[in-house]
Amino acid sequence: MSIAIVTGGASGIGRAVATCLVARGDTVVVTDINEEGAGKVADRLNSLGRGKAAAARLDVTDAAAVEELYRGVRAEHGALDLVFNNAGISIGGAAEELTLDHWDRAIDINLKGVVHGVHAAYPIMLEQRSGHIVNTASLAGLVPMPLGIPYTATKHAVVGLSLGLRAEAAGRGVKVSVVCPSFVDTPLLTNVNPDLPPTSMSGDAKDDIQKAAPRLYTAEKLARDIMRGVARNQALIVAPAHGRAAWRGMRLNPGAAVKVASLAVARLRSGG
């Protein structure tokens, strides 16, 4: 049985990962800035009759709160085995539409939220000489994703952070993986630029996204991919298959990958 923390656990990928963990008998702390949502998830997971779940409100932009919660879980349970730094938001819009507020929010949540989780979890795991940190990035951290470059930039940063930390942690008992999914059918697609100045992509962008990427993956399927990748200690967990194909294409021919992305932009702008 493992002791795990999942940030952004009230919905989407975080909820699906927490469900997989409890289903196999783990103890999971489901955290989210949406305390009520996290509580509902924990209550449902406790009805499975397998592992255990607790809920906690957590704003990942608050470094002190993140550290307090992570250390509290370790103190209560005697270990911290798995940390899923998963909380994030969706930022969309053409570069000329974006304000510094869009950039700051993306950096604060998508990048610094992960930094705060790593900063809190890594010393604990070094002391234990065991543990696995799993950071959620995106396929947008591996390939060009226009019309949302603050999101793309932060996800590239999370990939680099994770791979660099994995190299440092090698031989010290701590594992690090980064998750890079293609478009997943989660609330992020219907809540673009929350509480931010509107752009052409604000609000419910699911239909627009499906014009460029019609094959949306489910959070439940991705969670199973994540659990397999964690069990195998994969450095990069890229899913689904068409996401891996796009990543492979980027590595083989970056120029062609940018052209494909530009065609998707043209298709969106034309309404096709």
The helix/strand/coil state of 29 is strand
Q: Say what the pLDDT of residue 188 is.
A: 86
The answer to whether 80 and 3 have CB atoms below 8 angstroms apart is yes
- Residue holding tokens 């991919």? 225
Q: Confidence class of residue 215 from pLDDT cuts 50, 70 and 90?
A: confident
Q: Among 125, 145, 147, which Cα is nearest to 134's?
A: 125
Q: Please, where are the H alpha helices in the chain?
A: 12-23, 35-46, 63-77, 100-106, 112-128, 149-169, 206-212, 219-231, 241-252, 254-270
Structure tokens at 45: 């997971």
Pairwise CA distance, residues 257 & 113, whole Å: 29
Residue 108 neighbours by CB distance under 10 Å: 16
Percent of the chain with pLDDT over 70: 97
Residues in Cβ contact with 108 at an 8 Å cutoff, skipping those fewer than 6 apart: 61
| pLDDT range class, residue 210, cuts 50, 70, 90 | low
Determine the average pLDDT of the residues in 226-238. Answer: 98
107 — phi, psi (to 5°)?
A: -65, -40
Edge-to-edge strand list for the sheet holding 174-181: 52-57, 27-32, 3-6, 82-85, 131-136, 174-181, 236-239
Q: Which residues are catalytic?
A: 151
Return d(Cα 112, Cα 60) in angstroms, integer: 8
The token pair that represents 248 in the structure block: 């492979």
For the chain, domains (ranges, CATH) are 3-270 (3.40.50.720)
At 92, is the pLDDT very low, low, confident or very high (cuts 50, 70, 90)?
Answer: very high
Mean pLDDT of the region 211-234: 90
Nearest in space to 225 (alpha carbons), one of 5, 26, 38, 20? 20
Segment 81-94 shows an average pLDDT of 97
